[in-house]
Amino acid sequence: MVKALLLYTSRFCFSDDALMLSFAHGLLISFTLFFALATASQAESLTNLSRQLTIDPSQTSVSGLSSGAYMAVQLQVINSKSIMGAGIIAGGPYRCAAGKYKAAWFDPQGMYAMLNVCMHTNPVTWLPRPNPDVAFSIRETERLAAEQLIDPPSYLAAQKVWLFSGGKDSLIPRSVMDSLASYYQHFIPNANIRYVKNPNASHGMITENYGGSCKLSLPPFINDCDFDAAGALLQQIYGKLKPKATAQADHLYTIDQQVFFDPADESSSLHQKAHLYIPTDCKNGRLCKLHIALHGCLQSEDFVGDSFYARTGYNEWAESNNIVVLYPQAKAWLGGYSLNAEHNPQGCWDWWGYSGEHYADKQGKQIRAINTMLKVLIK
């Protein structure tokens, strides 16, 4: 069974031996954690938890890694009127995977742009790998805004953006991140954009003192690079913050996420659980900010336990700066037996269309679920 899943998922991403090992490790973790999750404590109601909170609606931001980075860009662009900024680690421009490229005829399964342009994960390395078409992303932004499927992009001009690219990241190479920077520069003043380039970092969430080697991309895809990405991106968005404090374990809640989507629709590929960190002062009624942190592929609790939502540094900054942190979760969806774009075996966020044609606008299944959660939190 595990061998079959490994063969299946290898079509979707990693192209070198070390990264293939990460697939095996991640999938084996998922089987191990299945039994622990089956006996996990009852999830809390987000509605009930929100009753103790007072969140400033003008202080909402988002960040993400990899597929979570692509989803963070989507949320930011779709909700540009209400999102104040974003932190993007290893992502690309809006609707990148929908772009049209000459070499796409080599891939009748519809994944050419996803695997060869927006990411470099296709093991067939002789296929052309052009840079993402930034002009297409800009046109799509303007088209969908005109159709009122996303907020007017003029609101992006007031946002603050933080970008991170690792020099050893072979999955989302520098050229893809540069394309994202160019996309942002069309809408956002350069003064509002901070682009960090670390020559030694590989593909993963970047931390100051937790995770694996900075130079490798292996589960749990959290890299100890002696650099606090969570703190850096939050301070780019919100300005100078108080020094981080110890996060309170009993302030990290497991919440019932499945009330925000249709569990019968497997293509939504959303997990039954999300997580929420509530700082001490926020529990006591203080006015607070809200940040959405989005994991990458193979990085939900099914694969890496609490590594992303408890150990990446967000909660420590949140505790001392009154920032409520929402951690939505995607889950794996194997779909049918054919290999095409309408599958999500690694539990990625939808940035290429497996959940339907509206994945990158306000009608998207995952977008609607997250936006509904935000409405519950921001009363």
CA distance 329 to 315: 17
Tokens of 7: 């063969």
Q: Kindly name the residue from 22, 50, 137, 203 that is annotated as catalytic.
A: 203
Instruction: Please say whether the beta carbons of 254 and 328 come within 8 A.
Output: no
CA distance 69 to 92: 8
Strand order of the sheet with strand 252-256? Answer: 193-198, 160-166, 83-89, 54-65, 287-294, 323-327, 273-277, 252-256
169 classed as catalytic: yes
Say how many C-beta atoms besides its own lie within 10 A of residue 201's C-beta: 24
> What size, in residues, is the chain?
379
228 classed as catalytic: no
Residues 6+ apart with CB under 8 A from 110: 340, 341
Q: Kindly name the residue from 22, 30, 50, 66 that is annotated as catalytic.
A: 66
Q: Kindly name the residue from 151, 169, 178, 361 that is annotated as catalytic.
A: 169
274: left (phi > 0), else alpha (psi -120 to 50), else beta?
A: beta
Residues 6+ apart with CB under 8 A from 375: none
63 classed as catalytic: no
Helices (H), strands (E): how many in the chain? Answer: 13, 11
Distance of CA 288 to the CA centre of its chain: 22
Strands (E) across 66-182 are located at 83-89, 160-166
Distances (CA, A) of 111 to 100, 101, 117, 167, 376: 11, 11, 10, 25, 35
Compute and round to an integer the Cα radius of gyration of the chain.
19
Residues 6+ apart with CB under 8 A from 345: 5, 8, 9, 12, 332, 333, 334
Instruction: Provide the annotated active-site residues.
Output: 66, 169, 203
